[in-house]
Amino acid sequence: MSQHVEIVEVGPRDGLQAWPKPIATSARIGLVERLREAGARRIEVGAFVAPDRVPRMADTADVMAATGSRERAGDMVLVANRRGLDQALENGARAIAVFTAASDAFALKNIGRTVDASLERFAPLVSAARAAGVFVRGYISTITDCPYTGEVPPEAVAPVARALRDMGCGEIALGETLGRATPRRIAAVIEAVSDHVPLEDVAAHFHDTYGLGVANVLEAVRMGIRTVDAAAGGLGGCPFAPGATGNVATEDVLYMLEGEGYETGLSMEKLLDAVAYCESGLGIAPVSRVYKARRGA
């Protein structure tokens, strides 16, 4: 398989959605601009979701307008319902993401319905998006662990991936929401999913709560996945996953991939400038190992 690994930068959405303090629109715009300068070709710029539940994403339309996201095929926004899809289309989005889980308990907390019910809700959204020429990603959260019910077996993940694929999602993102998994458990999920979805259409979306995010990414790449989500500075956390910390850091993933001989198209130095901006522009201290080592922290 190709030695290129595509890093999808999710910091502007997944990295900021749970931040407890207000974030200026200009600061979100500044982050997206710096990530573009670092070479990020795919960026999750925001979400069209209920602003009372996720207030940090309320200015997504403004961020899209200011950063040239309209009609950019590599920029993606999350949507939760038909209203969110309509907003995304009105603002020129060329890629959207819908989201479910492998655990009913988490799905009920996150989107207010079971996994099966969420799939029923998203099927017409995916159909409408595709009819409009929009690319659709399907997220599956809690692929190894649920904060409310414990371990999730791989055989619970595979049918959800198949259902998202069958309804028209062009990419399935496997979300290890709590950051508890080890490479062995990640491998078991990928193996189960690979029976239903080609690995070239699967993305790895891992968190780093227990410091195993980079190791898990390497295992996913070793197994054939070539799309990896990461957030500059290790930003992130889910408001509906108690105890989960940030996404695996883009700069840590980049360092590992380059060391293993993979090409990403990202500039480490410019990426570190974007990470520094997380602190100077957004007021959020980066937590990544590479950033601390390079900046002498």
Report if residue 46 sits inside a domain: yes
CA distances from 158 to 33, 61, 136, 147, 279 (A): 36, 34, 18, 20, 39
Confidence band (pLDDT; 50, 70, 90) for 110? confident
Enumerate the H helices of the chain as residue ranges: 25-37, 60-67, 82-90, 104-111, 115-131, 154-167, 183-194, 213-222, 250-259, 268-280, 289-294
What is the predicted pLDDT for the residue at 242? Answer: 62
pLDDT at 203: 98
Strand partners, 97: 78, 137
* Residue 239: pLDDT band with limits 50, 70, 90: low
What is the pLDDT confidence band of residue 197, given thresholds at 50, 70 and 90? very high
Query: Domain containing 139: what range?
Result: 6-294
Number of independent structural domains in the chain:
1
Q: Within a domain: residue 154?
A: yes
Q: Are 231 and 250 in contact (CB under 8 A)?
A: yes
Please give the average per-residue pLDDT across 223-229, as a whole number. Answer: 98
Does 202 reside within a domain?
yes
Active site residue 146: no
Strands 6-9 and 227-230: parallel
Question: In 3-state terms, what secondary structure has residue 9?
Answer: strand
- Looking at this protein, which amino acid is placed at residue 90? E
In a domain, 1, yes or no: no
- pLDDT surpassing 80 at residue 295: no
- Does some domain include residue 126? yes
Can you tell me the mean pLDDT for 99-119? 94
Q: What is the CATH number of the domain that holds 136?
A: 3.20.20.70
pLDDT recorded at residue 1: 45
- The average confidence (pLDDT) of the chain is 94
Under the banding of pLDDT at 50, 70 and 90, the label for residue 70 is confident
Q: What is the mean pLDDT of residues 278-291?
A: 92
Please check whether residue 161 lies inside any domain of the structure. yes
- pLDDT above 70 (res 296): no
Q: Is 224 inside any structural domain?
A: yes
pLDDT tens-place string over residues 243-270: 667 899 999 999 999 999 999 999 999 9
C-alpha 247/C-alpha 243 separation (Å) is: 13
pLDDT in tens, 120-169: 999 999 999 999 999 999 999 999 999 999 999 999 999 999 999 999 99
Please list the residues that pair with 204 across neighbouring strands.
Answer: 174, 228
